[in-house]
Each structure stands twice: as C-alpha cells, then as structure tokens.
Amino acid sequence: MKIYFIKSFLILFLISFMVLSCTSAEKTTLNPDNEKQLVEKAIHSSIGWAKNKDLKLLYDVIWNDENYLEVQPSKTVVKGFTEFKKSEAFWMNPNFKAVRYAIKDLKITFSKGGDVAWWYAILDDINEWKGQPANWENTRWTGVLEKLDGQWKIKQMHFSFASEK
C-alpha cells in the first residue's frame, strides 16, 4: 500500500512539474513589443480591409463565434459572427467605397497572462455611399482581443459618438 502511494505521488508530481514547466516557458517566450505590433495590426485590419474589400483580411481578425459582440453608434448591437457576416451585403455593394481611415490616440493594455488585450482609440472612418460622404468622424472606439491558436482575434468592439451639450 505504501509503495502504491509513493508511486502515485511521484507520478502526480512529475505531471504537475511538466504542466507548470510548459506553462511558464510559454509565458516567457512572449515578446511584449511584438505582441503589441500584432494587436495593432489586427485593429488596423478590422477597418483597413474595406479599402480593397478584402473579406479574408477582415475574417482573419474577427472571432468566428456566436459570442462575438459589436455595438455601433446607431444603437445597433451585432450578436454573433453569423449576424456580423450579414453586413457583407452593405460593404461589398459597389455603392460603398472606403476612402481612408485614421486611428488616433490608440491605447492598448494587456492582461497579466498576455493572452487578452483591450484598446481605446478615436477613429475617423471616411467612406462614400453612392458618391456621398458616409463618415464616422471622431468616433470613440474600444475593443477586446484574445490570442487564440496563436492569432489575435477581436471578440468585441464598441463604437460611439460623443454627445454635444
């Protein structure tokens, strides 16, 4: 009985040691500057895709899950990736043209574990619809990303306009 207990304890200790070793090694290999660049790239891709109507670029950075969430200034709430994809009819319409965008005051913060990030920025998204301006200017923009399978994916975005008094 005593030998069985000792063997079980040793096996449990070795498994715990291996798991902890792998976890700590993974955390130490993260390069904060590199991760920040990857997060910035994902944020830019989520808006910049529209210039060339590159849906692959967009869908590479948006979380393909029914828990995805996006809140727009029009008080529209997009719940889930399936609902998000329905906007393709608008974006891919020849009447829509992305002109340019600017992201100002971008602030990115990482979780202690380094696998979640959130941002705040001011967005100017300059577009045309049937040749007429269709812009979001000085738009407050926040979002949350998570690193999934080695790639940063946007899980939530919120856009709003400041109300003037």
Say if strands 151-160 and 69-71 run parallel, antiparallel, or are unpaired.
Answer: parallel
- Lookup: tokens for 3: 């030998």
3-27 pLDDT, tens digit each: 654 555 445 444 555 545 554 444 4
How many structural domains is the chain composed of?
Answer: 2
14 and 65 in a single domain? The answer is no
Structural domain of 146: 31-160
Which CATH number covers residue 58? 3.10.450.50
| Count of Cβ atoms closer than 10 Å to residue 70 Cβ | 21
pLDDT of 2 strictly over 80: no
Residue 69 has pLDDT above 80, yes or no: yes
33 or 100: whose pLDDT is higher? 100
If asked whether residues 5 and 71 sit together in one domain, one would say no
R_g over Cα of the chain = 22
pTM of the model: 0.80
pLDDT tens-digit readout, 129-141: 999 999 999 999 9
Q: Identify whether residues 122 and 86 lie together within a single domain.
A: yes
